[in-house]
Structure 1
């Protein structure tokens, strides 16, 4: 069974909720990443020079918005085409340049899912979690393919 329109709708509705409080959820997302992998701080230009995760940082917010937006786009592509194709051909090279390895994708996935659980609140469900997880996995596979 492929990715469903219902899964896409679940991702899109929680993506809209994420954007409603982008600064808060962006900080939460990077806090979750650094809790799991403190050394990842050096991989993000907007975190290198700060203690912890800076609040009200436009670069941090923009990057989080891009990550979550790409996962939302991946959900759309999975319904439409059954696969995820990167819109930005430079993503593979950027990830290589920053030293990203498979383990980093796992950390980001965990942080993303924890953030979505916070975003969703009482609307959180295993079905919502799975919808985001499958979309993220599709995006991660496309980025890894571009890295090889």
Structure 2
């Protein structure tokens, strides 16, 4: 099921506020991911050789901004399109990369928790339980689409996913 009209409005309103500073919010998202699950840093080649989250790491900054933007833009379009809107090739690539890196379903929950906290901080007093639920629903759709592609990739390569 896609978002309701009210959920769509909440997601769009908060995205309008946050897209003014995608790099900052993207970095905060990754800082929170690594705070919640420190072992996740090993999933990223550009973080493996460090014990801290280097704010001046250009690869981390670029990756974080791309992930945050893709996640938010797919959420904004969910109701209008009725499904996650990411180019098929991008979705296939995301599934393949996540499978290759060993990403598991619990990792998606960590990202969801970090994303919701990032948005809460990003929108400040506009944050509400309704907005949290709207973003949670939107994120769940994106995560399901990526996990679906992971399953397709796993079946094609005979590599089971956990």
Question: Which runs of no fewer than 5 residues in structure 1 stay unpaired?
Answer: none
Question: Which runs of no fewer than 5 residues in structure 2 stay unpaired?
Answer: 152-162
Secondary structure of the 1:90 match is helix
* Corresponding pairs, count: 148
Q: How does 1:69-84 map to 2 (within 5 A)?
A: 69-84=69-84
| Contact 1:32–1:111, Cα closer than 8 Å, also in 2 | yes
Deviates more, 1:107-116 or 1:30-39: 30-39
- Distance of 1:60 and 1:5 partners within structure 2: 34
Tell me the TM-score normalized by structure 1. 0.87
CA 18–47 in structure 1, closer or farther in 2 if over 3 Å, else same? farther
Q: Does 1:126 align with 2:137?
A: no
| 1:101 match | 104
Tell me the TM-score normalized by structure 2. 0.80
Larger radius of gyration: 2
Q: CA RMSD in A?
A: 2.0
Q: Does 1:144 align with 2:147?
A: yes
Secondary structure of the 1:21 match is helix
